[in-house]
Every structure is written in structure tokens, then in C-alpha cells.
Amino acid sequence: MIDAATAIAIADEHIAAQPAPLDGYRMVRYEPREISAGWFFDYGIECDLDIPESDRELFAGAAGFLVHRESGDVQVLAFGQLRDFGLAGN
């Protein structure tokens, strides 16, 4: 069983391994939400370009990922799976 600090370290490794969606953009994770299965992290994309927000690219993809409490395994979750983990509407 892993603790929150370990889950955050695993999440940071997962994010670091993700390719940039486009030049000038990078994947980030937001603060974890603890649920019974482990810790859920929303995906985010930040723009490092000096351009107005209205000119920035829009992206879609998976909602986020779960670091499982028992194994430390990472499971990417689609928006449709959020309800399965009690995350819908949060």
C-alpha cells in the first residue's frame, strides 16, 4: 500500500513521461483527490508561449489518471470512467 507522498511522486513521473502535445505546451497534473481506490489527478496542459489566451490551442483527451492505493499502478481514465470511481461531477 502506498501513501500520498508516494502517489504524488508516481504522478510526477507519469506526467514527465508524457510527450508535449505541441511545441510550447506541456502536460501538467493538478492537485490529487483522494478516493477509496487511491489518488486521482486531473490532466492539464499549460502554454509556455507568450501569446494571448484567445490564440492558444485547445486540447481534448483523457480526464486524468488514478494512482492505485494498493499497487501504485497508474490508470488513465476517460471522462466516461469518472463515475465508476465516484468522480463524476467533481
Say what the pLDDT of residue 57 is: 87
Amino acid of residue 75: Q
Give me the DSSP letters along the chain: ---HHHHHHHHHHHHHTSPPSSTTEEEEE---EEETTEEEEEEEEEE-SSS-GGGS-------EEEEETTT--EEEE-GGGGGGGT-TT-
Low-confidence ranges of the chain (pLDDT < 50): 90
User: Residue 45: what are its φ and ψ, rounded to 5°?
Assistant: -130, 125
* Domain range list for the chain: 4-51+59-85
Say what the pLDDT of residue 89 is: 61
Say what the pLDDT of residue 64 is: 94
34-47 pLDDT, tens digit per residue, is 999 999 999 999 99
